[in-house]
Structure 1
Amino acid sequence: MGTIATSFKAKKVHLINERYQIQEKLGEGSFGVVFNGLDTKKNERVAIKLEVRTGSLLAKEWHTYKLLRNAVGFPKVRWFGQIMPFYDVIVMDLLGKNLGELFRECGNRFSIKTVLILADQMISRLEYLHNMNIVHRDIKPENFVMGLGNTRNTLYLVDFGLSKRFRDSYTNQHISFRDGKNLTGTARYASINTHQGIEATRRDELESVGYVMIYFLRGSLPWQGITKKLCKKQRHTKIGEIKRDMKLDDLCRQCPKELIRYISYCRNLEFTEKPDYTSLRQMFRDLLKNLGHEYNYDYEWSEKGSGNSYLSTFPCNYNKDVVTWL
């Protein structure tokens, strides 16, 4: 995927859609590269994601973002199209750091207060997404991102390249049970059912949030570090076996008992069953209050003074006719 970024070096290219300038590379995933950019007409920072047009993942992601455009905690898409002519491009609101980055900056451990406030928002994002008949299918810290400026306290859910409809939006007919599927998403946070080849639905996303919470509280998960001598499929199988065989008391050691209740609840949901999002959020809000904390967005990184403003002062190399690629 690095060839996308490399192919633009030392080139001069017309502005995307005559207004969006690509600047520094911010990161890349399995399917695309994300750049810091500038909306030259509004003089606002944007994120620009490029993908080689070998599939329809970015177009699919664009359609998902359109469905979510009026919701809190989902970035707004400003433009989608093609350039050069082999790349799909999506331009959206620029956000801050993802939770994986912030976790590492905080010494691979979040406080219980930070985790509970994040959990409340993670569950809310999934509730809205599921109400729109979509499952994300790759819940992990890197796909939860903090906002910038006035939205710096808001948690965003991003990257819908693997998302899928689990229910018909007109008939409300749920997809049928299927097994024998390959694991989709990130094995570290995948549900036991997903490891067993069962189609992912709402219950599996919430179970994944539980593993993210445990990871943040403990600093690691017991199935990390599976030997690299195993092939990918063997590693996935081994991780699934550890998740299935480990007692929840051991998995949630050093975590509040509410995590045991949460994971147990998610694992016992039926394939088509709607989770009780409200009760799950309330359980964690009650725990926050009982521990003597306020829901005031005083995150771990806020206390350390790192903030989320690291993208707010990028230099602009704007020329109305061309972009100099860095």
Structure 2
Amino acid sequence: MPKKAAGKRGPAKRKLAEEFPPGEVFTDLTKKDWKLGPVIGKGGFGCLYLADVNSSKSVTSDAPYVIKVEPSDNGPLFTELSFYTRTAKPDLIKKWISSHKLKYLGNGKSYRFMVMDRFGKDLQKIFEERGKHFTRKTVLLLGLRILDVLEYIHEHEYVHGDIKASNLLLGYKVPHQVYLVDYGLAYRYCPEGNHKDYKENPKRCHDGTLEFTSIDAHKGVAPSRRGDLEILGYCMICWLCGKLPWEDNLKDPNYVKDSKIRYTDNIADLMSECFSKKDKPDEIAKYMETVMSLTYAEKPPYEQLREILLRGLKDIGQKDDGILDLDVSENGDIPAKPALKVFIF
């Protein structure tokens, strides 16, 4: 279970579900039984357990599933379940992939729980193991695939709201694939085609992961498409240079907000702060300038943004071959080969 980055905020006084012993059986809405194994993580939502279909056997360390459990009156898991119910239907995804010519798109007291395929290591751990640096090709390929996913969920009325390396996980049984996960902050920004109005709410200020969250979120404005793309931009900058200019002051949310606002109209200064003159990625600067020019309710130019990142690949003699220049073996080591195939879902 990835650790939450500094600055992560959540609703106050959220209740945690009590910890259930291994062997406890849960029955889902389809009347299917699931057996819990040991706890492998805890967070603001509750507990995360290894799990498998119910049988006489104990759940072992190689269990193919995990289950999130939270009290039924908590919010994050309800948000995530609502997102998956509305937007992650297999037929919807297949239709989108086909129509957009993609190779892939990168699940007494009462409790709410969700069964999911088990995932492996998150990219934040790999990022730190590699000295807090991904290659330019890796960053651009991740950016392209995340753009694909964001366009899909945006077109289905949701935004993600918390894009970061710790929410990009390797597959467990297929460790060369990468998945975008954790829709606990997903927000239905455009229900029934009606975009939410811009409205600042002091009670919601700084929601999200502080170092990456959008300026709108800092102001307490409901998440929007431009916010997701802004967050992705901060991630790409961090993955390339290792650190954002405001990271030493995460205990002061207003300082972080003011820093981001200050760079809004002068992306060149942001790039100069993060990169040496010879290492400046012009495509990331152009990406950020395009995103920062968007209005709150404006539909982003996804294809234009993809073209910007593709030009960046071309400038360094690379192409969109879907191959990241990193990999993780079963024991967590990073071998030189084979390379990692991008697969965001």
Match of 1:180 in 2: 201
Counterpart check, 1:23 vs 2:37: yes
CA RMSD of aligned residues (A): 2.9
8 Å contact kept, 1:73–1:157: no
Counterpart check, 1:238 vs 2:262: no
* TM-score (norm. length: structure 2): 0.74
Q: Which amino acid in structure 2 is aligned with residue 277 of structure 1?
A: Y
8 Å contact kept, 1:106–1:301: no
Matches within 5 A, 1:131-150: 131-150=155-174
8 Å contact kept, 2:210–2:250: no
Change (3 A) 1:39 1:73: farther
Change (3 A) 1:25 1:288: farther
> How many residues in Structure 1 have an aligned counterpart in Structure 2?
289
Match of 2:58 in 1: none
Match of 1:39 in 2: 53
Secondary structure of the structure 1 residue equivalent to 2:324: coil
In the TM superposition, residue 85 of structure 1 has moved relative to its aligned partner by 3.3
8 Å contact kept, 2:176–2:327: no
Which of the numbers 227, 230, 233 marks the counterpart of 1:207?
Answer: 230
Partners of 1:141 and 1:93 in 2: how far apart? 19
Change (3 A) 1:30 1:225: farther
Partners of 1:176 and 1:219 in 2: how far apart? 35
Partners of 1:302 and 1:292 in 2: how far apart? 25
Partners of 2:310 and 2:177 in 1: how far apart? 17
Gaps of 5+ in 2: 1-13, 56-61, 94-103, 264-268, 341-345
8 Å contact kept, 2:19–2:47: no
Change (3 A) 1:272 1:15: closer
In the TM superposition, residue 120 of structure 1 has moved relative to its aligned partner by 0.9
Change (3 A) 1:281 1:39: farther
In the TM superposition, residue 249 of structure 1 has moved relative to its aligned partner by 3.0
In the TM superposition, residue 22 of structure 1 has moved relative to its aligned partner by 2.4
* TM-score (norm. length: structure 1): 0.78
Change (3 A) 1:25 1:103: farther
Matches within 5 A, 1:204-283: 204-226=227-249, 228=251, 235-246=252-263, 247-253=269-275, 254-283=279-308
Change (3 A) 1:38 1:242: same
Change (3 A) 1:52 1:126: same
Match of 2:6 in 1: none
Change (3 A) 1:121 1:236: same
In the TM superposition, residue 107 of structure 1 has moved relative to its aligned partner by 2.4
Q: Which amino acid in structure 1 is aligned with residue 272 of structure 2?
A: D
CA offsets, 1:282-303, max 9 Å, x none? Answer: 2212322331234242332359
Change (3 A) 1:166 1:46: same
Matches within 5 A, 1:64-79: 64-66=83-85, 67-70=87-90, 71=93, 73=105, 77=107
8 Å contact kept, 1:226–1:239: yes
Secondary structure of the structure 2 residue equivalent to 1:22: strand
Gaps of 5+ in 1: 78-83, 229-234, 310-326
Counterpart check, 1:114 vs 2:135: no
8 Å contact kept, 1:252–1:259: no
Change (3 A) 1:116 1:155: same
Counterpart check, 1:292 vs 2:317: yes
Match of 2:152 in 1: 128
Partners of 1:185 and 1:94 in 2: how far apart? 24
Match of 1:190 in 2: 213
- Higher relative CO (Cα under 8 Å, sequence separation at least 6) belongs to 1
Q: Which amino acid in structure 2 is aligned with residue 218 of structure 1?
A: C
CA offsets, 1:29-88, max 9 Å, x none? Answer: 3223322222357x96012111123324322311211221323557xx3xxxxxx73431
Counterpart check, 1:98 vs 2:122: yes
Identity of aligned residues (%): 28
Counterpart check, 1:14 vs 2:34: no
Partners of 2:33 and 2:339 in 1: how far apart? 26
Secondary structure of the structure 2 residue equivalent to 1:300: coil
Partners of 1:49 and 1:308 in 2: how far apart? 31
Secondary structure of the structure 1 residue equivalent to 2:201: coil
Match of 2:69 in 1: 50
Secondary structure of the structure 2 residue equivalent to 1:114: helix
CA offsets, 1:163-203, max 9 Å, x none? Answer: 2211133xx22111211342221111012232233332100
